[in-house]
Amino acid sequence: MAIPPGQCGHIHFSPPLPYAKKQLFECAPQGNLIKCIITYKDAFWRNKGMAGQVLSTGAATDNAKGAHPILCTFDVTTPRGNPALAAFLHNGQWIDATQEERRDIVIKDLCRFFGDEAANYLDYADKIWNDESYSGGCPTAIIPAGNMEAFTHIREPFKLIHFAATEAATVWPGYMCGAVQSGLRAANEVIWHCRPEAVNEEMLKDTIYDKDFELLTVPQPETYGSAGKNQWPRRIVFGAKDTIYDKDFESLTVPQPETYGSAGKNQWPRRIVFGAVLILGILAFSKKYKLSHMARLFRPLEKVYYEWHIGKKWPF
């Protein structure tokens, strides 16, 4: 199977893939670049002693005239001598632009790097690889943080399925030569099961079919630290501060009633007495004026509000 890892994530496998391989395929999005090819009559950059390669931040601004979209360029002159430059742009700002707008800004940026001769091009073409349903992006898959351990399983076959892609190459991953090498490697894995004597051992180097292959694993605690010493006891000691394992730890508790108030005295008896007196006072006041139970409760509050808001003495 020779497709990008991210596209493998859209395939339903029965029986299901191992967890690590499934995680890798589902969390390996393709790159987000636009590829441009600009052809010329002659390789003028070579005449200037230039390699034709540029690495840039691809800075973008709100002003399109001041933008520098090119991230990198390569000399892709053909073996027959047809001069050309390949350039990559980030999709973010330019995917919604027209091809003519992208062409103008790319040529202008090439002139910044290689001089005015870059404007004398023969042809310009670009490709938005994110629009391709069977590749999903350009130039290669991106393995996010937290998924690198699963990446070590990218070349492992599953049942009778062998996986090939430029991301699965053992040399030049991410490039066309890596894609070819990956295909040859997968083919030799199949041959290994059919006719082991016909296998090219060089093609199986750094795969599980390599007799010297060692799967990369996460370092274990006993291999951490200097001189291979186990650092976990020390880490536990330092990491145990302010925990129940800290010998000086004092558990935080909710203060009890006897610790409330001034001088640590228990305030609850006094509060109970105060509450009882308040309730009895309200009942006595309401009984005097023959009020209902609800009115008995709220009439004192009405009195306070009336005298404060109206400014007159309570009439009842």
Cα gap 87→94, rounded to integer Å: 13
- CA–CA gap between residue 76 and residue 97 (Å, rounded): 25
- Using a CB cutoff of 8 Å and minimum separation of 24, what contacts does 277-284 make? none
DSSP E strand boundaries for 118-206? 121-128
DSSP assignment string, 218-239: PPPGGG-SGGG---HHHHHHHH
Cα(268)–Cα(257) distance, integer angstroms: 7
User: Which residues neighbour 258 within 8 Å (Cβ) at sequence distance 6 or greater?
Assistant: 264, 265, 266
According to DSSP, residue 2 is labeled B
Token couple for 4: 């990008």
Residue 117 counted as an annotated binding residue: no
Token pair for 276: 């009882």
- Number of neighbouring beta carbons within 10 Å of residue 211: 6
Is 213 flagged in the annotation as binding?
no
- Residue 6 CB partners (closer than 8 Å, separation 6+): 25, 28, 29, 30, 136, 137, 141
Tell me how far the alpha carbon of residue 292 is from its chain's centroid.
68
HSE toward the beta carbon, residue 54, CA cutoff 13 A: 23
Task: Give the three-class secondary structure for 172.
Answer: coil
Nearest to 210 by CA among 156, 151, 149: 156
CA distance 164 to 170: 11
Provide the token pair at 224. 């951490």
Can you read off the two tokens belonging to residue 40? 């010329």
Residue numbering of the annotated binding site? 88, 167
Residue numbering of the annotated binding site for FAD? 167
Residue numbering of the annotated binding site for substrate? 88
